[in-house]
């Protein structure tokens, strides 16, 4: 069986954060209806071939219903659906749903069992509540940008959109907590996620450095600020590898791997403290060894020695990763207009419960008739009328 | 009430990933017993003042029981506790628990209702299963490092340990899914999280670029690869700000803010495509304006204009953030040997359910007597005997 079988979700979320949370609900078996403005979510851009792959990645296994929430009849229709829903989720700026007349207070009165989830940049209270938030600005305000970058260089973005996805998975977890809570009390709740707050623990090592030294940890792109040595990135003839030594055994095996077994037992490198004092020399030795090898070769030798090592992969390597394809995390699809694409599955696996089969994202409004028929027993004529009046 | 009231957790996890998942369970009301080897988890390091702040951040609200799992009596004691537990969680390398004789298969036979959660670097199957994994190597293999760094520069670490925390929050969500599933079937399940897989969606924008162009997106530390312009980091007299313009309104307001209202309507900057073609010039204009102002001043002016802007904060700013303190996300504590520290709360908030009051982390084994008494009705003499024989 599937864990969220029979759970009905009205998903008003957009871009990355909320859609990730809703995608994970869908993969656990919930019926997720993506509510889009007529024409579709802005992230579809021009539609057709212009639809970004990211939209496909984040909206698999959802149904689509277009709905004009600024139209009185659209609002009424949304309220009728909310009466039948278990979950309403949105990641608009704080206050947007209230202004539309369909905020938490209104919906909770209409359906006391409803779980209402809000994901914003800074949460629904506090002095920064109304600051505009995207992954970029949250990277800045959460400290991630300040902690990313090269020695002496400017603060830099962490690759991708970690804040969006971190907010999204926290939203997903918050909704699951609410479902567990409702099983006890019979009542819904407001679930509130702040992207900024969801990033705080990412900097645990940096906060530790600040606490221990009273100083701000300097940025450095190759490692974190600990004495653990070696710990870095090393350039091979055709790419890079990342290596870290977390035990004396690792260090010994690294020396063997790079052909410097003669240094085993050398007091200069006796422990992390000593090695840290000779970090440049150590990095040079490993770097020299890597330069004469391809990424694959260096990785294979170190891996065989059970050293913590990984190739620093480019996106093609990641997308085509044999391991993730074999595990079913990544799957190949042929999409009518996007062509051959790789779609990711849910990273949450439970041995005794089924995950949904991955299904391609819907066209805007593709499931309008089905959803309004199923949820509200609406007939075809009524639905056509709504479409004619621009409500759906 | 609290959502996980009465839920008993045996938490064998260590370092960052698993402890974050368990911390979130504790904050939702579960009884989390941290099982540590005699002497305590390695992450406590030398103990006392040497305990890193990160340990305090990740182990609030847990109880501690020391247990020697390599001792036959320790193993027997663990099995007795597992019979009474709802959740066992661990983030050892794959196969470790099986080798100890207390893997999922054994525990599920002893307690069919048990939820067993494993978080590893690459999951429990597939060709890379046994690769050694830490945040550093997963940053490399997941593509995050390849996507982080400056134009023309080497691949770089994203600040902090995003992979550890991302794995941890997915583990938390997986456990919540399992609790919901158990409510239907009465049976537990294995929950399996791979850190590598939990990072895939972070690179949605980069995978989109690869799909659309067939090319690898170049690294650049100031922005992602979209035409959206302006989008970057700008240096003020004493710090940096991050700015992004996602609408034509933002662009107009940016021009007003930087005193270049004369360029409103200029065809060179008519839309994102045109602005992207003149990106250097735009960044120069904004940069020139920022240089004459402090971070605070530039931020205040842009914020007033409702431009998406944020100060690029250093760690002190983040730790002392007025907004997060006011919201209760961050709280000041005085710890007996760590001194004054700031501890983070759970980022998951539900209006109708209580979050635990933040409590300082326990000393190793501090709750042994209480846990063995409560869970197994063990008397003081028996417990002393276990301690004398080095079992606890």
**Per-residue pLDDT reduced to its tens digit, B171-182:** 999 999 999 999
Contacts of A315 in chain B (CB under 8 A): 143, 146-147, 203, 206-207, 210, 216-217
CB contact under 8 A, A318 and B148: no
CB contact under 8 A, B126 and A155: no
CB contact under 8 A, B176 and A178: no
Is the predicted pLDDT of residue B359 greater than 90, yes or no?
yes
- What was the pLDDT predicted at B264? 96
**Per-residue pLDDT reduced to its tens digit, B73-131:** 999 999 999 999 999 999 999 999 999 999 999 999 999 999 999 999 999 999 999 99
Mean pLDDT score, A2-23: 98
Phi-psi region of B370 (alpha: psi -120 to 50; beta: other; left: phi over 0): alpha
Report how far residue B312's alpha carbon sits from residue B241's, in angstroms, rounded to the nearest whole number.
5
Is the predicted pLDDT of residue A234 greater than 90, yes or no?
yes
Could you say which of A148, A194, A326 has the minimum Cβ distance to residue B148?
A148
- What was the pLDDT predicted at A198? 98
Is the predicted pLDDT of residue B6 greater than 90, yes or no?
yes
User: Where are the domains positioned within chain B?
Assistant: 8-198+320-388, 231-235+240-311
Q: Which of A60, A129, A310, A335 should we substitute to test contact with B (largest number of B Cβ atoms within 10 Å)? A: A310
Residue B48, φ and ψ in degrees, nearest 5: 50, -135
Is the predicted pLDDT of residue B46 greater than 90, yes or no?
no
Mean pLDDT score, A104-113: 98
The CATH number of the domain covering residues in A8-198+320-388? 3.40.50.10540
CB contact under 8 A, B326 and A127: yes
| Closest to A233 (Cα-Cα) out of A292, A295, A322, A278 | A295
Could you say which of A129, A146, A160 has the minimum Cβ distance to residue B144?
A160
Is the predicted pLDDT of residue A31 greater than 90, yes or no?
yes
CB contact under 8 A, A351 and B190: yes
CA distance A81 to chain B (A): 23
Is the predicted pLDDT of residue A46 greater than 90, yes or no?
no
Alpha-carbon Rg for chain B, nearest whole angstrom, is 25
Contacts of B188 in chain A (CB under 8 A): 352
Q: Give catalytic residue positions of B.
A: 164
| Closest to A22 (Cα-Cα) out of A195, A198, A168 | A168
Contacts of B222 in chain A (CB under 8 A): 154, 156-157
Contacts of A322 in chain B (CB under 8 A): 127
| Closest to B158 (Cα-Cα) out of A85, A145, A17 | A145
**Percent of chain B surpassing pLDDT 90:** 98
**Per-residue pLDDT reduced to its tens digit, B236-290:** 999 999 999 999 999 999 999 999 999 999 999 999 999 999 999 999 999 999 9
Q: What is the ipTM of this complex?
A: 0.98
Q: Which of A24, A105, A347, A358 should we substitute to test contact with B (largest number of B Cβ atoms within 10 Å)? A: A347
Could you say which of B318, B319, B350 has the minimum Cβ distance to residue A177?
B350
- State which residue of chain A sits closest to B247, comparing Cα positions: A42
The contacts found for B104-108 with CB under 8 angstroms, 24 or more apart, are B104/B190, B106/B79, B107/B79, B107/B82, B108/B188, B108/B190
Catalytic residue, from A31, A86, A135, A164: name it. Answer: A164
- Give, to the nearest 10 degrees, the angle between helix B248-257 and helix B295-304: 130
| Closest to B66 (Cα-Cα) out of B53, B77, B55 | B77
Mean pLDDT score, B26-48: 95
CB–CB of B149/B156 below 8 Å? Answer: yes
Is the predicted pLDDT of residue A104 greater than 90, yes or no?
yes
CB contact under 8 A, A140 and B310: yes
CB–CB of A310/A299 below 8 Å? Answer: yes
Is the predicted pLDDT of residue A75 greater than 90, yes or no?
yes
CB–CB of A130/A93 below 8 Å? Answer: yes
- pTM: predicted TM-score of the whole model, two decimal places: 0.98
CB contact under 8 A, B132 and A190: no
CB–CB of A200/A209 below 8 Å? Answer: no
- State which residue of chain A sits closest to B246, comparing Cα positions: A134
CB contact under 8 A, A148 and B221: yes
Is the predicted pLDDT of residue A41 greater than 90, yes or no?
yes
| Closest to A55 (Cα-Cα) out of A37, A68, A42 | A42
Report how far residue B16's alpha carbon sits from residue B36's, in angstroms, rounded to the nearest whole number.
14
Is the predicted pLDDT of residue A327 greater than 90, yes or no?
yes
Mean pLDDT score, B302-309: 97
Contacts of A174 in chain B (CB under 8 A): 348-350
Q: What is the mean pLDDT of chain B?
A: 97
CB contact under 8 A, B242 and A344: no
A and B: number of Cβ contacts within 8 A: 483
| Closest to A390 (Cα-Cα) out of A363, A353, A365 | A365
Options 3.10.20.30, 3.20.20.100, 1.10.540.10, 3.30.1540.10; which CATH number does A231-235+240-311 get? 3.30.1540.10
Contacts of B46 in chain A (CB under 8 A): none
Report how far residue B340's alpha carbon sits from residue B337's, in angstroms, rounded to the nearest whole number.
9
CA distance A371 to chain B (A): 25
CB contact under 8 A, B158 and A161: no
CA distance B29 to chain A (A): 11
Q: Which of B49, B174, B349 should we substitute to test contact with A (largest number of A Cβ atoms within 10 Å)? A: B349
CB contact under 8 A, A160 and B147: yes
**SS3 letters for chain A?**
CCCCCCCEEEECCCCCHHHHHHHHHHHCCCEEEEEECCCCCHHHCCCHHHCCHHHHHHCCCCEEEECCCCCHHHHHHHHHHHHHCCEEEECCCCCHHHHCCCCHHHHHHHCCCCEEEEEECCCCCCCCCCCCCCHHHHHHHCCHHHHCCCCCCCCCCCCCCHHHHHHHHHHHHHHHHHHHHHHHHCCCCEEEEEHHHHCHHHHHHHHHHHHHHCCCCCCCCCCCCCCCCCEEEEECCCCEEEEECCCHHHHHHHHHHCCCHHHCCCHHHCCHHHHHHCHHHHHHHHHHHHHCCCHHHHHHHHHHCCCCEEECCCHHHHHCCHHHHHCCCEEEEEECCCEEEEEECCCEEECCCCCCCCCCCCCCCCCHHHHHHHHHCCCHHHHHHHHHCCCC
Contacts of A347 in chain B (CB under 8 A): 170, 193-194, 197-198, 200
**Percent of chain A surpassing pLDDT 90:** 98
């Amino acid at each position: 069986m599937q864990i969220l079988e029979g759970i009905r979700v009205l998903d008003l979320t957009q871009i990355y954060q909320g859609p990730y949370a809703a995608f994970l609900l869908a993969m656990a078996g919930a019926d997720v209806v993506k509510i889009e403005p007529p024409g579709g979510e802005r992230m579809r851009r021009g539609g057709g071939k212009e639809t970004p792959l990211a939209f496909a990645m984040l909206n698999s296994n959802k149904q689509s219903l277009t709905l004009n929430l600024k139209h009185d009849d659209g609002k009424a229709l949304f309220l009728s659906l909310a009466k039948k829903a278990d979950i309403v989720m949105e990641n608009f700026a704080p206050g947007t749903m209230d202004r539309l007349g369909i905020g938490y207070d209104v919906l909770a009165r209409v359906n006391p069992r409803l779980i209402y989830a809000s994901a914003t940049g800074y949460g629904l209270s506090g002095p920064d509540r109304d600051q505009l938030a995207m992954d970029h600005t949250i990277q800045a305000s959460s400290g991630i940008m300040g902690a990313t970058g090269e020695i002496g260089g400017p603060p830099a973005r962490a690759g991708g959109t970690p804040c969006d996805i971190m907010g999204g998975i926290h939203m997903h977890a918050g909704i699951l907590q609410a479902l567990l809570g409702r099983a006890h009390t019979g009542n819904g709740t407001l679930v509130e996620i702040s992207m900024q707050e969801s990033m705080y623990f990412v900097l645990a090592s940096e906060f530790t450095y600040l606490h221990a030294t009273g100083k701000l940890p300097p940025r450095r792109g190759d490692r974190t600020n600990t004495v653990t040595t070696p710990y870095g990135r090393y350039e091979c003839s055709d790419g890079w590898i990342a290596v870290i030594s977390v035990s004396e055994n690792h260090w010994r095996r690294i020396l063997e791997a790079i052909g410097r077994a003669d240094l085993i037992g050398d007091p200069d490198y006796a422990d992390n403290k000593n090695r840290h004092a000779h970090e440049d020399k150590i990095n040079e030795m490993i770097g020299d060894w890597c330069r004469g090898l391809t990424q694959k070769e260096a990785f294979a030798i170190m891996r065989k020695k059970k050293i913590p090592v990984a190739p620093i992969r480019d996106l093609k390597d990641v997308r085509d990763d044999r391991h993730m394809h074999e595990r079913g995390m990544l799957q190949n699809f042929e999409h009518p207009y996007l062509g051959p694409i790789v779609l990711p599955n849910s990273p949450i696996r439970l041995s005794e419960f089924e995950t949904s089969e991955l299904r391609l994202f819907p066209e805007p409004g593709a499931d309008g008739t089905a959803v309004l028929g199923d949820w509200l027993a609406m007939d075809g004529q009524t639905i056509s009328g709504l479409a004619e009046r621009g409500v759906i």
